[in-house]
Amino acid sequence: MGKFRIEPLADLARQMGFAPRDTRLAQITAAEVFLHEIDPNKAYPFELVVHKVTGYRPRDYSEDLYAGQALQHDLGLLIETVSDTLDVKTSQADEPVLTIEDVTARFNVTSKTIQRWRRRGLPARRFVFPDGKRRVGFLLGSVERFFSGHEDQVTRGMNFSQVSESERQEILRRARRLAVMCHCCVSEVCRRVARKLNRSPLTVQHIIRKHDQEHPAAAVFALAPAPLTEEERARILRGYRRGLALKSLARRACRPASAVYRVVLEERVAKLNRRKVNFIDDPLYHQPDGPEQIDAIVAGARAAATMDAGGRPEDRRVPRDIPAYLQELYRTPLLTPPLERALFLKFHLHKFQFISARRALEPQFARARDIDLLDARLATSTEVKNQIVRANLRLVVSIARKHLRPGLDLMELISEGNLTLMRAVESFDVHKGNRFSTYATLALMKGFARSVPQMLAGRRATGGDAAMLAAVPDGRFGSSTTADRFAAREEVGRLLGRLTDRERIVVLAQYGLDGASVAREDLSTRLGVSPQQLRQIERTAIAKLRTVIGVANLG
């Protein structure tokens, strides 16, 4: 089995393992139905996934959206993982169970093609077969439903059996020429012949290997040089990263330039595949002229914002009490609501285009121009993101100034806030109708509520803020001013921000910080926990607060 990409789905799979047997069976059946419905180019909220699989809507859930492609992989893994706990025999299944060999024979494809189909939504369960062994199996109904929804993919995979004798001879002729005259290795031979004849590299490889077994004296692959070792590949990549030309790398490796070229391309493809990119979907992205419409929306909103810029002098007002190097931020105009919406649409459009192009990329056929296009998609999305970030940097400065404390550096707070701002740009959903400044303000305040106490605790631990502590008024001698009380409330709010929602409710109620104390019995009923669990939540919360403020005793 593979590894889950979405941690909440891994947790859900573990929880499903404790459900009654009939419930588990019903849930993996529901998961299969949902798996067939997933569009890999869309994003789905986790609440919907849980509801589709279990029939329940979780009380506490993340608002994060997960890409359909990642959900296809993880739902397939969830089905396989949970079905393994059921010990279902093939004879007990409601419909025929096909093995991997059955599916390969039925559709005339290789087992590797079946594994690729599984990653794209073909559900597999684990069954106990008549020989007593557990293996992966496919319900006939699921296979037929996958075929009906992915007919193009299945048809492309089935072309292995349609190789004519004349085409087979052409494959062998081209392969022999590439091995002898171009010194191409086995994988490069298969890739080039496959591209030229519009075949799968696995099909080409199978035909040549079968020929070599039947005619060892005229073997084709024996003429090809040995494949590159891992050490050779690593040496080529180190030279490429230093900026050496392909011809120079080929001379050093004593290999044809095509082999070096392929190593570099495979490394670039692997790097792009490791990039985690999520987008927020919009109907315009799926229309043929969607990109042109979005470009027109951006251009119109930018023109309107330029005409309106002269009438908003507050946008250019620079605070006097900030360093000169920060005043430059205020020369970037704020985004109008139409322009903000247009830029977010464009930002996620390019991420959508990147994911779509990456999904369609066949690594064995990839060329430099294909990878350059993917890099360009990412670069354009980053450029649009930077426009949004630059227009909101003054918001970071404003909120950072409000959280500045003796012993803290403003630039350190701004640096921390910039990271929070960039994360907020990634997760902001313009379709909900809110301004980004509202969303970013909440994210920044939450981030500072978490980071400022950590910074202060670090200063206390090193003794760097003794003067600051000495300057704090002692409430035991005289009454505090209104400003002191406000600062104290703000400090309490920041500390409580370090707690979970449940821990915060318990602390507020038990210590009367919200204006009224609540009896333990009433609080237990309200939270749906036992008195013992309530005490444990309280102890955990107090321990967190002690850690944050760096004292041994709160009392």
pLDDT in tens, 67-118: 888 888 899 999 999 999 999 998 888 888 888 888 877 776 777 778 888 8
Give which of 61, 36, 35 is closest to 47, Cα–Cα. Answer: 61
pLDDT at 552: 33
What pLDDT, on a 0 to 100 scale, did the predictor assign at position 1? 52
Exposed, middle or buried by CB within 10 Å (0-12, 13-18, 19+), for 303? exposed
Q: What confidence category does residue 423 fall into, taking pLDDT thresholds of 50, 70 and 90?
A: very high
pLDDT tens string 185-241: 888 888 888 888 877 776 788 889 889 988 989 999 888 887 778 888 888 888 888
In angstroms, the CA 437 to CA 440 distance is 5
pLDDT at 523 > cutoff 80: no
Tokens at 54, concatenated:
């279990």
Cβ within 8 Å of residue 325, ≥6 positions away: none
Which is more confident, 524 or 417? 417
Name the band, by pLDDT with cuts 50, 70 and 90, for residue 279.
confident
| DSSP secondary structure letter of residue 430 | G
How many Å apart are CA 354 and CA 360, to the nearest integer?
A: 10
Neighbours of 552 (CB within 10 A): 5
CATH 1.10.10.10 fits 473-549, yes or no: yes
What is the β-pairing status of strands 65-67 and 97-98? Answer: unpaired
How far apart are the C-alpha atoms of 296 and 283, rounded to whole Å? 16
User: Rounded distance, CA 86 to CA 75, Å?
Assistant: 17
Residue with the bigger pLDDT between 314 and 151: it is 151
Query: Could you give the 3-state DSSP secondary structure of residue 127?
Result: strand
Report yes or no: 517 and 509 within 8 Å, Cβ to Cβ.
yes
Give me the residues paired with residue 97 across strands: 139
Picking from 402, 388, 273, the residue whose alpha carbon sits closest to that of residue 340 is: 388
Model confidence at 316, in pLDDT bands (50, 70, 90)? low
Integer CA distances (angstroms), 226 to 181, 183, 223, 305, 416, in order = 15, 10, 9, 62, 51
- ∠ CA 54-505-452 to the nearest 5 degrees? 105
CA distance 509 to 501: 12
Domain 283-459's class?
Answer: mainly alpha
Which CATH code for domain 228-274?
1.10.10
Whether pLDDT at 367 is above 90: no
Task: Return the pLDDT at 515.
Answer: 47
Looking at residue 34, its pLDDT comes to: 92
Per-residue pLDDT, 159: 46
- Identify the pLDDT of residue 102: 82
433-478 confidence digits (pLDDT tens): 889 999 999 999 988 888 888 888 776 655 544 443 333 344 333 4
pLDDT confidence of residue 191: 81
In sign, the C-alpha dihedral spanning 164, 165, 168, 170 is: negative
Position 514 scores a pLDDT of 52
Q: What is the reported pLDDT for 61?
A: 60
Structure tokens at 88: 């279902």
pLDDT tens-digit profile of 374-392? 999 999 999 999 999 999 9
Torsions phi, psi for 44 (to 5 deg): -130, 140
Interaxial angle between packed helices 482-496 and 501-510, expressed in degrees from 0 to 180 and rounded to the nearest 10? 140
Nearest-angstrom CA–CA distance, 406 and 423: 27
- The side-by-side arrangement of strands in the sheet containing 125-128 is 97-98, 134-139, 125-128
